[in-house]
């Protein structure tokens, strides 16, 4: 009953013309970003953040969210047509999607990807609206020690699941924490790590850092590789999957949806992992596993559903607890804070229009994506044909303008470029940027919770273990750190390389 009432309120907000427009823009931009290789949703959201300053926080969040789940849709298009994943969550779609396209079944592949995404996205949004209030209620009882321990779990899980070496991921997280400390210390009023550089006194901005690490670094990496793209010139028709396709795909879609949603809930989990897990699961369950890799429609339907429902699931920890579970959500958190909102359990009561409006807009956005994207596939293929020598200066220009217009400060542009070089080197030396971004956002919150806890307990560290919830979180974190050492876990990155 309560949920229905809230959903109706959400519809009132989301159906306002201006919000509908922002939703449409977000999903369209998102799809384009998903289509374009060399520009991921994290960089795109950071790029477009400054353009939302004119809008209300609700409209801004609706658009930024649209970019994220829109990118999940768009990513599949390039995977299927060009065998290049538009973004990381569509890597597995290449395996069977491109094979289907080679066999002249590009239409059904694109179709089932879109329908699967729609079904999964819709399920994710409904689940979000049901579980959100419950989680918020629990989180309201949290004090600083619980928050501290929960953030530790968040960072640990992300490092656990991030690609490559865990030691490097932990190192990145610690570095992010340190970078988050740059600027004035709010408690003592002392300057930390600023060395008389004026632009650093307010701290390192999230936007320049993200644009550098994800936008500029990506361009630099691609410049060196010189991507080659052969676009499938075959005519695409019969977008609607036939009855047999539906029969083959309904199971994978249903399983992918549920799996993806739960993986999306876990801090550190997300669309990329969900798509890999779904592919592996479908291959195990399939009657003819040998068809996988040779154009099995199950290998498209499952992962595409999983990454979309994971994208919805990702919003739950952010909107209810204020904990971002991946780099994109960390940027959204930063965006909300720039708009003067503090995500967390109080968000639902303090800004119900934002909370319910965003959730419902995601539902509407999913409908828009389904209706718009299938007819627009021709347009996206044209976008793909933009030559890279024109595309990369445009991406660079967007980054340059975006980082400047944040505070009208050229020094921030320099910071962004420096992080661009750092990000490029990190890619070369195989360090993952996601834990760094997460820790950079959480760092100041973590430190505050840490110090507040110690003030509460008058300096007694046992406060973190004497409160049952906090203790449970810390035990989880320790287990996550110990288990891989004991079991010599098989890294996700090895799965990726297979």
Q: Does 489 bind other proteins (CB under 8 A)?
A: no
CB of 54 to other proteins, least distance (A): 6
Phi, then psi, of 203 in degrees rounded to 5:
95, 165
For residue 278, which of 33, 44, 16, 495 has the smallest C-alpha distance?
495
Q: Does 228 bind other proteins (CB under 8 A)?
A: no
Alpha-carbon distance of 217 to 143, in angstroms, equals 39
Among 458, 486, 488, 498, binds other proteins (CB under 8 A): 458
CB of 459 to other proteins, least distance (A): 3
Alpha-carbon distance of 373 to 278, in angstroms, equals 24
Of the pair 454, 469, the CB lying nearest other proteins is at 454
41: which 2 tokens? 């949703």
Binding mask of the shown chain, residues 279 to 318, with x at each position contacting other proteins by CB under 8 A:
----------------------------------------
Give the binding range for other proteins (CB under 8 A) out of 76-84, 329-337, 392-400, 476-484. Answer: 392-400
Of the pair 39, 271, the CB lying nearest other proteins is at 39
Q: Does 478 bind other proteins (CB under 8 A)?
A: no
Binding mask of the shown chain, residues 41 to 70, with x at each position contacting other proteins by CB under 8 A:
---------xx--x----------------
Of the pair 54, 233, the CB lying nearest other proteins is at 54
Burial class (CB in 10 A: 0-12, 13-18, 19+), 287: exposed
Q: Does 430 bind other proteins (CB under 8 A)?
A: yes
DSSP state of 235: P
Binding mask of the shown chain, residues 141 to 180, with x at each position contacting other proteins by CB under 8 A:
------------------------x-xx-xx--xx-xx--
CA 345 to chain centre: 20
Residues 6+ apart with CB under 8 A from 92: 275, 276, 278, 279, 299, 303
Going by DSSP bridges, is the β-strand pair 183-184/191-192 parallel, antiparallel, or unpaired? antiparallel
163: which 2 tokens? 């690609």
CB of 452 to other proteins, least distance (A): 11
For residue 175, which of 187, 167, 184, 185 has the smallest C-alpha distance?
167
Tell me the β-bridge partners of 484. Answer: none
Q: Does 410 bind other proteins (CB under 8 A)?
A: yes
Q: Does 250 bind other proteins (CB under 8 A)?
A: no
Alpha-carbon distance of 50 to 401, in angstroms, equals 9
- Could you give the 3-state DSSP secondary structure of residue 481? helix
Q: How many residues bind other proteins (CB under 8 A)?
A: 56
Alpha-carbon distance of 232 to 164, in angstroms, equals 32
Interface residues toward other proteins, by CB under 8 A: 50-51, 54, 165, 167-168, 170-171, 174-175, 177-178, 181, 185, 187-188, 190, 192-193, 216, 219-220, 223-226, 389-390, 392-394, 396-397, 400-401, 404-405, 408, 410, 413-414, 417, 421, 428-431, 446-447, 450-451, 454-455, 458-459, 461
């Amino acid at each position: 009953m309560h949920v229905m009432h809230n959903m109706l309120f959400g519809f009132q907000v989301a159906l306002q013309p201006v919000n509908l427009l922002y939703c449409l823009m977000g999903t369209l931009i998102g799809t384009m970003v998903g289509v374009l290789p060399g520009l991921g949703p994290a960089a795109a959201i950071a790029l477009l953040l400054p353009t939302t300053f004119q809008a209300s926080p609700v409209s801004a969040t609706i658009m930024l969210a649209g970019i994220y789940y829109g990118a999940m849709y768009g990513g599949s298009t390039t995977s299927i047509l060009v065998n290049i994943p538009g973004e990381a969550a569509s890597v597995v779609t290449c395996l069977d999607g491109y094979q289907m396209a080679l066999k002249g079944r590009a239409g059904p592949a694109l179709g089932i990807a879109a329908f699967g995404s729609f079904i999964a996205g819709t399920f994710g949004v409904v689940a979000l609206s049901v579980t959100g209030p419950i989680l918020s209620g629990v989180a309201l009882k949290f004090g600083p020690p619980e928050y501290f321990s929960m953030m530790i779990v968040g960072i640990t899980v992300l490092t656990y699941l991030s690609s490559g070496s865990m030691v490097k991921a932990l190192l990145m997280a610690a570095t992010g924490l340190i970078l988050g400390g740059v600027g004035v210390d709010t408690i003592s009023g002392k300057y930390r790590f600023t060395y008389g550089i004026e632009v650093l006194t307010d701290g390192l901005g999230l936007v320049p850092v993200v644009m550098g690490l994800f936008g500029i670094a990506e361009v630099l990496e691609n410049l060196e590789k010189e991507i080659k793209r052969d676009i499938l010139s075959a005519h695409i028709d019969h977008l609607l999957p036939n009855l047999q396709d539906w029969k083959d795909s309904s199971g994978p879609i249903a399983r992918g949806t549920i799996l993806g949603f739960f993986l999306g809930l876990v801090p550190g989990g997300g669309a990329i992992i969900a798509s890999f897990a779904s592919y592996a699961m479908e291959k195990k369950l399939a009657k003819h596993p040998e068809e996988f890799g040779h154009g099995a429609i199950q290998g498209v339907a499952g992962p595409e559903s999983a990454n979309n429902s994971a994208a919805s699931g990702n919003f739950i920890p952010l909107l209810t607890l204020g904990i971002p579970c991946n780099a994109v959500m960390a940027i959204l958190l930063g965006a909300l804070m720039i708009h003067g909102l503090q995500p967390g359990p109080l968000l639902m009561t303090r800004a119900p229009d934002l909370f319910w409006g965003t959730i419902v807009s995601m539902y509407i956005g999913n409908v828009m994506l389904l209706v718009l994207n299938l007819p627009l596939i021709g347009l996206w293929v044209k976008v793909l044909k933009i030559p890279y020598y024109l595309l990369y200066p445009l991406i660079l220009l967007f980054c340059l303008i975006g980082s400047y217009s944040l505070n009208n400060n050229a020094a921030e542009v320099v910071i962004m470029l420096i992080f661009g070089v750092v990000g490029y080197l990190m890619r070369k030396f195989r360090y993952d940027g996601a834990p760094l971004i997460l820790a950079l956002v959480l760092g100041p919150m973590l430190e505050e919770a840490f110090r507040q806890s110690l003030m509460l307990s008058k300096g007694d560290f046992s406060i973190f273990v004497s409160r049952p919830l906090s203790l449970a979180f810390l035990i989880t974190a320790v287990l996550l750190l110990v288990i891989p050492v004991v079991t010599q876990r098989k890294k996700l990155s090895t799965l990726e390389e297979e």
